[in-house]
Amino acid sequence: MADPLSYLRRQAIVRGVVGGRRAWLILGGMAWAIRLLSRVAGIRRLRTVLTQELRPGESLLVSHLPDDSNPAE
């Protein structure tokens, strides 16, 4: 499971709203509040762009190319 808060939000809907369990409603409310606050604050999580297994002898080059879309620079 990649995101524990996502699990809590999903379970809050299933067990709290549909199932009527108060504890799941509270946990879900806190998980949704954390998500909302992080979005309002502009906090962004890192995301995986590429996953690839390297075999012995292989290498990986990471570089940054300049952005040519802005002619002012």
- Hey, where are the domains in the chain? 4-41
Where helices occur in the chain by DSSP H, the ranges are 4-11, 22-41
pLDDT tens-place string over residues 17-66: 888 888 888 888 888 888 888 888 877 767 777 888 999 999 988 887 77
Confidence at residue 27, expressed as pLDDT on a 0 to 100 scale: 86
CA dist 68 and 62 (Å) reads 19
Q: What DSSP state is assigned to residue 40? A: H
60 neighbors 51 (Cβ within 8 angstroms): no
What band does 70 get if pLDDT is binned at 50, 70 and 90? low
CA dist 1 and 27 (Å) reads 18
